[in-house]
Structure 1
Amino acid sequence: MRQRIRPSHIRRSAAFVAAAAVVSALPAVAAPTAFAEEGEPSVVISNLPSASPKPGEVYDESVVLTNNGTAAADGVTFRIRLTRGLDFPESVQGCTYSTVGDQVRQALCELDTVIEPGASIETPVRFKALPHALMEAVEYGTGPTGETPVEGFSDSYRRLALTADSTADLAAVGEWTEALAGNKQSVTVRLRNDGPGWIQNNESDDQPALMVQIPPGASAVEVPKDCAPFAIDGPSGPGGTPGKPTYVCSPADHTIEVGESLAYTFMLKIDAGVRGTIKGEVKATSVYDIHPVFDKNTANDKDWLRIDIPTDYEDGPTTSGGSSTGGGSTDGGSTTGGDGNDPVGQSTGGTGGTGGTGTAGSPSAGGSGTGTVNGNLASTGSDGTPLLAGAAAAAAALGGVLVVAVRRRRSITESS
């Protein structure tokens, strides 16, 4: 038999409720409480206090559910959701646990109680921060009459965004390759998250991005869709626009997992008459070129996109598969590994040429002159799609580039 709760009294529910969180693209603004019709309960919930838990710490707070309606709420379904950097510290009797959407942990708890009109109950909310916790959110509450809540937020179902007491280290990875004046050359640059925290930022301007300067003496003729022209203080046009000097590249869902490397491949046209080495800076930053507050290590924020152009060469036979410059690898990474900032000599994924240096009469199986313009390939295979409003970046293939093999008269001296 359920116990009746008298108005103005607050009691702790019998079921010990664990916490939960979710990332949602819907605005975290509570809608006004609907007018309770005669004979209908109207449950509202208090706000959880904000916090910045360290990885490994347990958050343990309580919320109060109050019935502002004119009828009793006979039984309450309490839902909690957690983003992937949070988890439930233990299982609680009366709660059913599952994983929904994009790695979101959920608890659905049945509170075997009755809330009379004007009365309140208190129930705990508990969760722990995992080692990769950083930008997190907790979604908690019930429906207006105590039923299972629908998607979206109201006075009975709320969302708390929090930032764990941790960091994430963004790293820029460039490329060093060769090309011929007047020809086209594909180049791939990367944005990598070295952790320890994962990044999903829909709350501030610290959305992770890679700033790419096209080397003077070259022009971008094909651009990834996730790379927009950059003006003085932000994006200034649609992604994929060619012919601009600087681009800002960012994942569509603003998400980068720990250890993930996002690759952005450009097709450049080298100006006729250019010789020596041309270079442009690549920089790990935010969409608005403001250094993210969560990134405390600036040593690996910058790298270079370098292209060596022969100063003295003689035209050789034309092949359809080889490249005089090489610079690719069969796994899509750059064999140069940027400018020393990539600890393993190459990024962990992405696009790029399929390797090989073409020679006269013996074309290779690919070359750095081919490549793929896709804008956003995660080396980990994660689709990075948010739970409720995800968007996946599409990849567009680029191929069939005719590369001229050359016979070098003398070696090229590497220059920085």
Structure 2
Amino acid sequence: MNDKIRVGLIYGGKSGEHEVSLQTALAVIKAFDMNKYEIQPFYITKQGEWRTGPQLTAPAQTVAELTFQDEALSAPASSFALQPFFASQLTGDKAVISSSQTAPAQKTGSAQDKPLDVVFPLLHGTFGEDGTIQGLLEMANIAYVGAGVLASSVGMDKVMMKKVFAQEGLPQCVFRHFTKTQWEKDQAYFLMEIEISIGYPCFVKPANLGSSVGISKASNRDELIAAIQIAFQYDRKVIVEENINAREVEVAVLGNDEPRASVVGEIVSSNEFYDYKAKYIDGKSSMIIPAEISEELSDQIRELAVRAFQAVDGSGLSRVDFFLRKEDNRIFINEINTMPGFTPFSMYPLLWKETGKPYQELLDDLITLALQRHADKQRLQYTFDVE
């Protein structure tokens, strides 16, 4: 009898962080203990097409192997959109994600037609980390790793995230935000507001994106206007933040209702700030784990990380990023990342490794937390019968 846990890995995605997701998926697949798990891959192309194929029986060796298209699954893109999820068959309390409607060559009863125990959405950015895939999995009643719909949405939208953090009383840098419509209607007002309240230099970011995509540093009005235009290429809403002369420190959080925080780590960027290139391409940024700070300061940062996690109603995992101002060691929370990367350069697993939890054990914990959270939700009553 096969008692392995069947895990569906969803990766790729219609996002500016597509390549980051592939790197994460590669690292996770290679780390899974195949004696405990059966892996069913679901690759989403940059166009939003879903692809699945033979069950992986051995870890993939390259990112290219994760972007496969089986001959039996060469149907038009429209056939592979979200049909497999919405057409899921339910067996007991488990969803069977089947491609039988879209891939006639796939035999009924194959590994692909077996129930999945849990889904690991290894998607970063838009349509993966913003609550959309989480909502789809909730509708299909499938257990999944990581934050729920609310936490994912709040964690993705930097404006809403900062408003929630403000309500929680977490220390933050000064920021301003506006939509593209507001900017086009009253550009002069927002420029004046930013220059008075924030000044130069400042950072301009799309409100809904990750991995430092679309982020620019502006040192004058011309650069600010150009940076805002770049940010609007990625989102309809932009946030402008004050520049802080600070060290960048990060904490990994793990758990559901009783989250735990890892040791504190520090990022020393290879570029002026920790942008996409510094994170994923040049490999020159360094990580200091644990960060060279006092025990008292470390405890304060770890406590704030847990408070941030709970403020957004987090579950499973998150990485919480902070600024530590150099002049006085004052702590400012930067953001929470509800689906941090697992690439070779990623801070999250390295923080837990230093805390005493190796990669495979971390994956085991995440699967367990997902199944526990799903089981708890199954005990809730969602209907009300009127006598």
TM-score range, shorter chain: under 0.3
**Would you tell me which structure has more strand in proportion to its own residues?**
1
**Would you tell me which structure has more helix in proportion to its own residues?**
2
- TM-score normalised to structure 2 length: 0.22
